[in-house]
Chains A and B, each alone.
Chain A
Amino acid sequence: MSLKQLTVFVENKQGTLVAITDTLAKHDVNIRALSIADTQDFGILRLIVTDYDKAEKILMDEGFLVKSTLVVGVKIGDAPGKLSTALDILDRAGINMEYLYAFMSRTEKHAYVVIRVADNALAEKALEDAGFHLISDADVCKL
């Protein structure tokens, strides 16, 4: 059920980020969600896109350093306290998160959270047992 995240190395140079988004735009790849981890020297861009395979190929062709990372995507209600509930479940299961980011759906009144953990299966089971719906790559295309 895990979700594929496209991870891109961003050199700390003028124009790198726009070169990445430009490449995706030219090939009609839509970005559903993103997060950037940045240091003084470099950034790590994490993307959830509508067409993973295509996005990976075109960025690699342009010479970008990319990597596929499996993350957990979970659907939560768009209301105060919903994120907290989901995180609490992971916490109780003793699961540490590396990072997370979230996005909203255009059509449904729902939010989606992308979570990076060491053990996806464990996190997914804990969330599903608590009644949460997970999302897949196929779901992302439809959102």
Chain B
Amino acid sequence: MEKQYFQKEIETMPVEDIKKLQSEKLVKQVKHVYENVEYYRNLMDQKGVKPEDINGIEDLHKLPFLKKSDLRDAYPYGLLGKPLNECVRIHSTSGTTGKRVIAFYTQNDINLWDDCCARAVVAAGGSKDDVCQVAYGYGLFTGGFGLNGGSQKVGCLTLPMSSGNTERQIQFMMDLNATILCCTPSYAAYVGETLKEQGYTPDQIPLKAGIFGAEAWTEEMRQNIQNTLGIKAYDIYGLTETSGPGVAFECEEQTGMHINEDHFLAEIIDPDTGEVLPEGEKGELVFTALDKEAFPLLRYRTRDICVLTRKKCSCGRTHIKMSKPMGRSDDMMIIRGVNVFPSQIETVLLQEGYQPNYQIIVDRKNNTDTFDVNVEMNPEQFTDTVGGITALEKSLANAMKTMLGINPTIHLVPPKSIARSEGKAVRVVDKRKLI
């Protein structure tokens, strides 16, 4: 069978031509950003770099990095590259603290984002004959709208299910013969388990492929999902800061994700020194958006640790491949698809009158992340009834849910009972084996 691509000419472009295209786009984009984004212009001026110094991708290293803290400092409009009246949409990362990021999109930005997701859908075997069930959340989260756009662009009949309500998901899947499922891998596993419990065998399930992302998952989990649902499971990568899912996607080879290099220029750096590392070395992934108009981030540090390789791929795509993220260079955790920073937990504890002595325990049970927080209670809060203590736990869990967007299970423990090593507590215990 002939190999299918959404944009064949771009996706199979010779590497030299990709690099040439990237160089041309970079020069233009740096000029656009320097002229329109005062925040980044200041960073460039501080570093003594002018747009004229950037003549191609070989000069990329001269540009300053953008970090998540820059996005916070520039919140909400400081990194806008277009007048607000040319923007047509926003998306936002989860979390309601200062860690929130709002990304803006022009219509053109959305069109290109849809293209990226469409490439992922076609790489997963999608065509206009498919029924694509999008069970990522729709809303501020980029997952739902991103895959929805890609699926529609390919011409799939798109089911905008959004997340949750498994019974309804299954009913639509079976009644409308959904062939592609897009959601988080843990939800795919959950849907698979539920179908199995209901007595469905893989050959009775109409799905043939799944596009799963927004959280870390293992090869073992992939095998599991593939077996229960009788599908091929493809990974997809992206982050709100760079548009959303579709920055990179897996092809039939399932050995890493092709980065859409015509839109995103990727680098791997040493997270400590900022030095650019050669291809094949493990380090922090940095993206430069080459076409984005409204939110044109240059050299944005993702904090994801991974490896890039440009080995020839049997699918025919020439774009560089990134490995699954192998960890983070900061303390961010992704729990049930939601970004959580320990500092957010600390903020809530202080707000609610607790000492910031806590320990976060993350695990994965039945394919779902568990999120427990042990908190040292104040002696004066201790009461002689169980109801008194569980009421405190519930109220603290609610406060955290408001801040983080997900519900932790709170366990109050005695003062000074959380282990401290060398005066510094171990704040996070992540028992999930994701790599």
Contacts and interface: CB of A to CB of B under 8 A. Distances in A.
Indicate the member of A9, A11, A46, A63 with the most B CB atoms within 10 Å: A9
Nearest to A65: B414
B379 A65 contact: yes
Given A44-B385, A65-B382, A99-B385, A39 B414 contact: no
Nearest to B393: A41
Given A11-B417, A39-B390, A67 B382 contact: yes
Nearest to A38: B386
Interface residues of A, number: 19
Nearest to B416: A63
Interface residues of B, number: 16
A105 interface: no
Given A39-B390, A42-B389, A63-B416, A7 B411 contact: no
Contact of A5 (B377, B384, B390, B416): B384
B198 interface: no
A65 B379 CA distance: 7
Contacts of B416: 63
A63 B389 CA distance: 19
B415 interface: yes
A65 B383 CA distance: 10
Contacts of B383: 7, 67
Contacts of B417: 11
B412 interface: yes
A66 B414 CA distance: 10
B218 to A, nearest CB: 29
B126 to A, nearest CB: 46
Nearest to B380: A67
B414 A64 contact: yes
B414 A44 contact: no
Nearest to A71: B384
B413 interface: yes
Interface in B362-402: 377, 379, 382-386, 389-390
Given A11-B414, A41-B411, A116 B386 contact: no
Contacts of A67: 379, 382-384
Contact of A11 (B385, B390, B413): B413
Interface string A51-74: 000000000000111110100000
A132 B415 CA distance: 40
A42 B411 CA distance: 9
A42 B412 contact: yes
A37 interface: yes
A99 B417 CA distance: 28
Interface in A89-139: 98-99, 116
A65 B415 contact: yes
A61 to B, nearest CB: 13
A14 to B, nearest CB: 14
A139 B375 CA distance: 39
Contacts of A37: 385-386
Indicate the member of B377, B379, B384 with the most A CB atoms within 10 Å: B384
B60 to A, nearest CB: 52
Indicate the member of A37, A65, A66 with the most B CB atoms within 10 Å: A65
Contacts of A98: 384-385
Contacts of A116: 384-385
A67 B379 CA distance: 8
A7 B379 CA distance: 12
A63 B416 CA distance: 8
A37 to B, nearest CB: 5
B415 A7 contact: no
Given A39-B390, A41-B411, A65-B414, A9 B385 contact: no
Interface in A1-50: 5, 7, 9, 11, 37, 39, 41-42, 44, 46
Given A44-B385, A63-B416, A69-B384, 9 more contacts: A7-B384, A9-B382, A9-B414, A11-B413, A42-B412, A64-B414, A65-B379, A65-B382, A99-B385
Closest 8 CB pairs between A and B?
A7-B384, A65-B414, A69-B384, A37-B386, A67-B382, A41-B411, A65-B382, A9-B414
Interface of A: 5, 7, 9, 11, 37, 39, 41-42, 44, 46, 63-67, 69, 98-99, 116
